[in-house]
Amino acid sequence: MRKKQQITCIVCPLSCTIEVEEKDGAYTASGHECSRGEKYALQETLDPRRVLTGTVRVDGGRVPRLPVKTTSPIPKALILEAARLLDEITVKAPLRCGELIVKDFAGSGADLVATRSLEAGGRQQEPGSQRPEGGE
């Protein structure tokens, strides 16, 4: 039995349309301009993954949430459960950008890390929250 599906490659701005065909359990890609696209299309068909980004609660900081992300793409099937687990995490300052928050997050094989630094007791401001000079 043959099955076909079209995938838009997101690896580079050319956005090639790649067709992936399954025949007797074997998958082949066509329409890609380079091997990165072929790899992406087959991965997206057989084991789609995404980098999870979100925030976790900060205890005692001047900012209420710390942005975090997984160190590599995790299986798409795990994304909802992993996002739910973010709500159960509370971190304490100080933390450096890139510091490990949870190893093997949600059993995905990827670690969860901070994407910004938190200073202990330091003055923290959310990006974009500064008031313009002389403004109210």
Residues that bind ligand SF4 (CB under 6 A): 9, 11-12, 14-16, 32-34, 36-37
Residue with the two structure tokens 């401001």 = 125
What CA–CA distance (Å, rounded) separates 36 from 53? 24
CB atoms within 10 A of CB 17: 12
List C-alpha distances in Å: 124 to 29, 69, 89: 49, 20, 20
Q: Minimal distance in Å, beta carbon 107 to ligand SF4?
A: 30
- Measured at CB, which residue is nearest to ligand SF4? 37
Q: Minimal distance in Å, beta carbon 36 to ligand SF4?
A: 4
List, as one string, the DSSP characters of 83-96.
HHHHTT-EEES-B-
Q: For residues 14 and 51, which CB has a smaller minimum distance to ligand SF4 in the complex?
A: 14
Q: For residues 31 and 109, which CB has a smaller minimum distance to ligand SF4 in the complex?
A: 31
Q: Minimal distance in Å, beta carbon 2 to ligand SF4?
A: 22
Q: For residues 37 and 54, which CB has a smaller minimum distance to ligand SF4 in the complex?
A: 37
Q: Minimal distance in Å, beta carbon 100 to ligand SF4?
A: 31
Q: For residues 3 and 36, which CB has a smaller minimum distance to ligand SF4 in the complex?
A: 36
What CA–CA distance (Å, rounded) separates 111 from 51? 11
CB 29, CB 19: distance < 8 Å: yes
